Amino acid sequence: MTTNVAVGVSEPWVDYEVPFLELLFTLLRTGVPHPGEPGGLLGPLSSQIRVWPPLAGAAPWSPPPAGTAVDARQHAALTEGSGLDAVMALVPPPLEPYLGEGTWEQVFERLGTRLPPDFVALAERYGAGNWSWWLDMSAPLSLDRPREQGLAATVEGMLDGYRQLRAAHPQYYPMPAWPEPGGFLPFASTIDGDQIGWCADGPPETWRVAVDPRHWDQGPPLPGDFTTTLLTWLRGGPAESGFPGLTGRDLHPLDVMFFEPFGPGAPW
């Protein structure tokens, strides 16, 4: 076997035509010739072993047991805190969330309404992505980009589908479609085909989350806003939270909660 060694010179490669172990043995004892080294000799090398200073305090390590939170703040957020701060403590947001190239005013104008401020704040921190392989969030400010379906286009498509289903089967869709008073305004979907939206009744600050489930009948609006509902779901809350994806599992919530961000060009 031929051994090649490179050192920082204009033509660094030197072919020693010996196996590597033989080359290493010679380096330790007498050194080997190399044009890039002072005196033309690489070695001899010290036979003493020195520990790299950053690893001087290294010790055997075992991974923590399943369900153990290394971050005390994250663990505390399972039961403490509320709102966006608690969500971010549980699931740190992306350093560079993908929002899109538009503005909220453009989105509001296209939809014909402003959106709840808690949702706007959360969307700005997380952008496009997927929560725990279950809940998909479109890029909130993406407008008419090829291969992308931003929030406005997502809302328009789901709302049109909901209107058609309600017209054909009103008994299964008790909520009217927005912009009717108290109408259903969908904005996100799940891997199970559920649609997550709001009961658009009154000003956006008071809108409650509503769910158009894929596999059971549509129920009344949920008690809280989207951020509150998301937080309850992340904490492994009861099924009546309307987000059953993380409930009923024999796993610790911290083992299954995450946010996978999507970048530009992702086909949501």
We report the CATH number of the domain holding residue 150 as 3.40.1580
Q: Does residue 74 contact residue 254 with C-beta atoms inside 8 Å?
A: yes
In this prediction, residue 26 has a pLDDT band, given cuts at 50, 70 and 90, of confident
Per the domain annotation, does 133 fall within a domain? yes
Q: Do 121 and 34 reside in the same domain of the chain? A: no
Q: Do 158 and 240 reside in the same domain of the chain? A: yes
How far apart (Å, rounded) are the C-alpha atoms in residues 257 and 263? 20
Instruction: State whether residue 158 is helix, strand or coil.
Output: helix
Per the domain annotation, does 164 fall within a domain? yes
How many domains does one find in the chain?
2
In this prediction, residue 145 has a pLDDT band, given cuts at 50, 70 and 90, of low
Per the domain annotation, does 3 fall within a domain? no
Instruction: Say which residues have a Cβ less than 8 Å from residue 161's Cβ, sequence separation at least 6.
Output: none
Mean pLDDT of the chain: 84
Residues constituting the chain: 268
Range of the domain at 35: 11-42
Question: Distance between alpha carbon 35 and the CA centroid of its chain, in Å?
Answer: 51
pLDDT given for residue 253 in this prediction: 75
What is the number of alpha carbons within 13 Å of residue 99 lying toward its C-beta? Answer: 16
The whole-number average pLDDT for the span 150-171 is 93
Question: Distance between alpha carbon 103 and the CA centroid of its chain, in Å?
Answer: 22
Per the domain annotation, does 67 fall within a domain? no
pLDDT given for residue 16 in this prediction: 82
Q: Do 38 and 77 reside in the same domain of the chain? A: no
Per the domain annotation, does 36 fall within a domain? yes
